[in-house]
Amino acid sequence: MIKIKFCGLTRRADVQAAVAAGADAIGLVFYPKSPRAVSVAQAAELVQAVPAFVSTVALVVNIDDEQLQHIFQALPLDLIQFHGDESPEQCQRQAALVGRRWIKALRINAALHDEQSIGAMIDELAAAGASAVLLDAYHADKFGGTGERFDWSIIPKQASLPIILAGGLTPENVSLAAQLAIYAVDVSGGIEADKGIKDADKMQRFVANLRHCQQFDGQA
């Protein structure tokens, strides 16, 4: 069963709607330049709305040690999602500082990457102790959240880490993702009414469409 992460939530009501829709994980953005960024104080209120067995993920971009430690000393978050230019070694070191498991986002550009090169990058992350890898679309000026897709045909069929697919996912196309060799999907813009404002109906349709496709595939 493919796991579902809803990312970039900024309102308590949206967290509650995401949980009700069936999200497995909630992503909070600690990157000040993002329109979906939250402060530690805002995040504290959001985390209170997350029940047991739903994971909370801190998305960070090129964060320094002091800021990272402040976040995890203040909040009971489960995972770190490194979404910047961090090396595998830097991710490993910073995750150890706060005693958390971690995942790393790779920005995929079909003009530069292929299945083999992506697999090699995933191997480096696996060797450094990552729990999963997130594949997102490359953008020259943005660290994710672009709503753009990359060429899914270059996703490795076999990889040394579980693959989380992000970038351009919507309720309308998520059924296509169910056919890929992935562990999870990660969506932000595709379930929004506006930047950082989630749409409860879109969240419900996203989950329902993915689950329906998986159920149909399982019966085939």
Query: Any idea where the domains of the chain sit in the sequence?
Result: 3-217
Strand partners, 2: none
CA 154 to chain CA centroid, Å, is: 19
Per CATH, the number for 3-217 is 3.20.20.70
Strand 163-166 versus strand 184-187 pairing type: parallel
Digit-coded pLDDT (tens) for 71-128: 999 999 999 999 999 999 999 999 999 999 999 999 998 888 999 999 999 999 999 9
* Residue 100 near residue 76, CB atoms below 8 Å: no
* Residue 96 near residue 72, CB atoms below 8 Å: no
For residue 140, the model assigns a pLDDT of 53
Rounded Cα distance between 14 and 2, Å, is 22
Rounded Cα distance between 35 and 77, Å, is 21
For residue 196, the model assigns a pLDDT of 92
Rounded Cα distance between 26 and 170, Å, is 17
Phi-psi region of 8 (alpha: psi -120 to 50; beta: other; left: phi over 0): left
Strand partners, 192: 198
Rounded Cα distance between 102 and 111, Å, is 28
Given a cut of 70, the residues of the chain with pLDDT beneath it are: 138-147, 215-220
User: What pTM does this model have?
Assistant: 0.93
